[in-house]
Chain A
Amino acid sequence: MNIKISVKNLSVFFGNVQALKDINLDVPANKILAIIGPAGSGKTTFLRCLNRLNDIDPDMHFTGEILLNGKSIYTEDTNPVELRRRVGMIFALPVPLPMSIFENVVYGPRLSGIKDKRRLEEIAEKSLKEAFLWDEVEERLDEPALKLSGGQQQRLCIARTLALKPEVILMDEPCSGLDPVSTSKIEEAMMQLKRDYTIIIVTNNTKQAARVADNTAFFLMGELIEYGNTEKIFTAPSDRRTEDYISGKFG
């Protein structure tokens, strides 16, 4: 099994508050990993360590190591800007930037220095197709992205991340504000995308984890309680707390 991301003894603190406690976890390539757990269990913090978005909080410090393709992402000479192109992120609420649909998708490629209009158009089309949005916006790429519906906006955000040609896609509760139809479209896209990308999804919806994930990790109060094959976690969890959470006894 090809390991994409390897997390070793990761502990994260914000000021004096410990958000993650000694996490050890290997993420296999081209699979979907779901991270489940009640609010405040450190799921989002964990995700934001993987693209170093936690760096923008001056109170954050950590111990441990995170390897991407076997190389630490927190060394002196890793450039977080370059890392974030390789590890893309989808946020809980779709946040289209207040510019056109086209400009949203090519935001990343433009930053990496691509100026050729034809190239950018190709990237936009390919990314929008991969995110299952092309057919709906093909005719109106110059319209403001804010005019799209919520579900379309989230798929636009996915396309925008895909345009970076990342290796890993982090999704932070990407369907929390969406209706069932939009959710199923995004899940459909995820199943296609895992052929080319490694996906890590944080979700509050255990059913969603069961539907899409190959592997599932259960976080509770900053600790990784259980991690394994999704089917095993959902049918025969080895920890009592996992079972209680999945069966809805708390959370």
Chain B
Amino acid sequence: MRIDPKVSQKIITLILGIATGITLFILLYIIIFMLGRGIPVLSWKFLSTFPAKMGKAGGILPTIAGTFVLTLVAIIIATPLGVGAAIYLVEYTGERKIIKIIRFGAECLAGIPSIIFGLFGLSLFVVILKMGWSILSGGLTLAFMIIPTIIRTSEEAIKTVPYSYREVSLSLGATKWETVKKVVLPNALPGIVTGIILGVGRSIGETAAVIFTAGSSLRLPTSLFDSVRTMSVHFYILSKEGISEKNAFGTAAVLMILILAINLIAYWIMHRFTRRNV
């Protein structure tokens, strides 16, 4: 029996629509569920005061600071390495076998569970290199974790810059590096920034790798060798130890709003940048 094409079209449209609807519903449900419990906890005091009684009372100021510092260190380390490697892979090498192996390696690295990075960071940075539980150990671990993502997205962004731009630049007497600097990178920037933002997002949300390497101190850090507690770790400890479900949701709400804000700002910057010359 053949189904009338009009009917089958309608059925397919309906099925695809339902799939989209369910996805959207789950997403909204998570957001509303979390923010619904978290936002009532939020106040200026919650954001600006120290936790008391291990987080049962008080605010989350040091964990906000810890999240920022740790992410910043990770990005400062990972961006030049990741973008540099991407430039090298695309601009300075042919499509040789060794490059394919490097790329495959980077992809595998991106797929390693973060807890493995945590254990690695604990052994290497914290113990062997004697950096202790610190911003530096945590930042380096997070950097290693996000470098593959930055390489991958930067590579894609650099590849989308038309080949003709490079030819034109070279034909006008630019060296290879001048071409990369003046033509390739500016045009690949939106994509590169996207990669960095993804890295920021992963760093902010990371728990396993951080708890092993940056510790969980509730003091405000004063040096790179201080231990910090990020919001994700704080959130994890509050829930797991059953300290305060209320404050855990409050922390989660701050985390979600922060990530949303970062994405919006990044989107705005890229929009401004790309519109300037087109």
Query: Which residues of chain A have a CB within 8 Å of any CB of chain B?
Result: 51, 53, 56, 58, 81-82, 84-85, 88-89, 91, 93, 95, 97-100, 107-108, 111-112, 144, 146, 157, 160-161, 164
25 CB contacts below 8 A, A to B, read A53-B170, A53-B171, A56-B167, A56-B170, A82-B173, A84-B170, A84-B173, A88-B172, A91-B167, A93-B164, A95-B162, A95-B165, A95-B168, A97-B183, A98-B277, A98-B278, A107-B172, A107-B182, A108-B173, A111-B173, A111-B178, A111-B182, A144-B277, A160-B172, A164-B173
Q: Which of A81, A88, A100 contacts B174 (CB 8 A)?
A: A81
Q: Closest CB of chain A to B195's CB: distance in Å?
A: 20
CB pair B94 A85 closer than 8 Å = no
Q: In the assembly, what is the distance between CA of A160 and CA of B170, in Å?
A: 13
Interface of B is mostly: helix
Q: In the assembly, what is the distance between CA of A89 and CA of B172, in Å?
A: 8
Interface bracket on B: 20 to 34
What B residues does A98 contact at CB under 8 A?
A: 165, 186-187, 277-278
CB pair B173 A85 closer than 8 Å = yes
Beta-carbon nearest neighbor of A83 in chain B: B173
Task: Give the contacts of B62-94 with A (CB-CB under 8 A).
Answer: 94
What B residues does A157 contact at CB under 8 A?
A: 168
B175 at the interface (CB under 8 A from A): yes
Beta-carbon nearest neighbor of B166 in chain A: A56
B169 at the interface (CB under 8 A from A): yes
Beta-carbon nearest neighbor of B94 in chain A: A58
- Mask of B22-55 contacts with A, CB within 8 angstroms, 1/0: 0000000000000000000000000000000000
Beta-carbon nearest neighbor of A89 in chain B: B171
Q: Which of B94, B162, B165, B171 contacts A84 (CB 8 A)?
A: B171
Q: Which of A93, A97, A100, A144 contacts B169 (CB 8 A)?
A: A97
